[in-house]
Amino acid sequence: MSLNENLINHLQHLVVIGVDGEEGYTKAAEMVSSKGLLAQFEQAATSRNIQAEAIRNYLSGQGIEKPAHEGGFAGTLHRAWLDIKGTLSNRSDSVAINSCINGDKAAINAYQDILDDKEVPADLRSLLTEHLETIQTDVKNLELLLQKS
């Protein structure tokens, strides 16, 4: 089944979201004092990179030659705001956690929008569902950390 233009655009947007997520988690890792949180953020950054690359590869396999490779403007602004907020706050761990939760919730919404489309091929649906579950698990884990602090 070939992909329609709308689905291609949504998938390219997911690549941008993945790159933004990777960069956001990397920036958040620079802010935190906890070694455990640092490791968790680094793992999530790697995961978002792998997810973006998997979607790029899927698009390339469908003959889409120029999938998105860079993060978006909104992600750049979000990371700049994270820098400012972290500088002004004496609780940078909670600022970083909240920022990552917000970014991941936006990613969850984007994934769910695509998965709501009945025209999504089964192999793509499986890939995106796996990504979505990983992001949802990361959000749950981060929310638990916030409750403990």
Q: What tens-digit pLDDT sequence spans the chain (149 residues)?
A: 578 889 998 999 899 899 989 988 998 898 888 899 999 999 999 999 999 999 999 999 998 876 555 555 555 555 555 554 554 455 578 888 988 998 899 999 999 999 999 989 999 999 999 999 999 999 999 999 988 87
Distance from C-alpha of 87 to C-alpha of 68, rounded to nearest angstrom: 31
Looking at residue 66, its pLDDT comes to 63
Query: Furthest-apart CA pair in the chain: how many Å?
Result: 52
Q: Which domains does the chain have, with CATH numbers?
A: 5-148 (1.20.1260.10)
The torsion angles phi and psi of 66, rounded to 5 degrees, stand at -125, 60
Looking at residue 88, its pLDDT comes to 42
pTM (predicted TM-score): 0.85
- Interaxial angle between packed helices 122-148 and 5-31, expressed in degrees from 0 to 180 and rounded to the nearest 10: 30
Tokens of 3: 């992909």
C-alpha dist (Å) from residue 51 to 35, 86, 123, 145: 24, 27, 15, 24
Tokens of 40: 């968790």
Looking at residue 95, its pLDDT comes to 83
Looking at residue 78, its pLDDT comes to 53
Looking at residue 148, its pLDDT comes to 83
Alpha helix ranges (H) inside the chain: 5-31, 35-61, 73-88, 92-115, 122-148
The alpha carbon of 33 is separated from its chain's Cα centroid by a whole number of angstroms, namely 22
